[in-house]
Amino acid sequence: MKIEKDIHESFCTAYAGAVVRFIVTGINEDVSFDSKTQRFVSKEIDEDVPPSDCEWWVGDDWETFVGPLACATDLAHPKFSEDVLSKAIIFALRKSATGKRMSQILAGLD
């Protein structure tokens, strides 16, 4: 169970980082499982790569997966903070049954 928890934690962290970078840069990322390191990683993808070619595409629909957050999610908002947003996303995904299920599926634990 600890391994599953660690893997899920790495998913939450990788996904949150990808979302924050997407908001700041506008560049989509793909979150995937690295079986060698047993951790999730994210990498930038070219804008012409369709979401279906990614393991877990991170783009402008991220809020439908994470759900509503109490912090600012718009870069133009005066109270926007990358750190606060990242922590809020990680917290939401830790509590999310869907987030946990996705990390298990992507890691091949299903």
63: domain range?
A: 2-106
Judging by beta carbons within 10 Å of its beta carbon (0-12, 13-18, 19+), is residue 17 exposed, middle or buried? buried
Number of domains in the chain: 1
The pTM is what? Answer: 0.92
Distance (Å, whole) CA 94 – CA 13? 10
Element (H, E) at 3: helix 2-25
- pLDDT value at residue 109: 84
Element (H, E) at 104: helix 97-106
Q: pLDDT tens digits, residue range 73-103?
A: 999 999 999 999 999 999 999 999 988 998 9
Residue 23 · residue 75 · CB < 8 Å: yes
Write out residues in the chain with pLDDT < 70, as ranges: 1-2
- pLDDT value at residue 1: 62
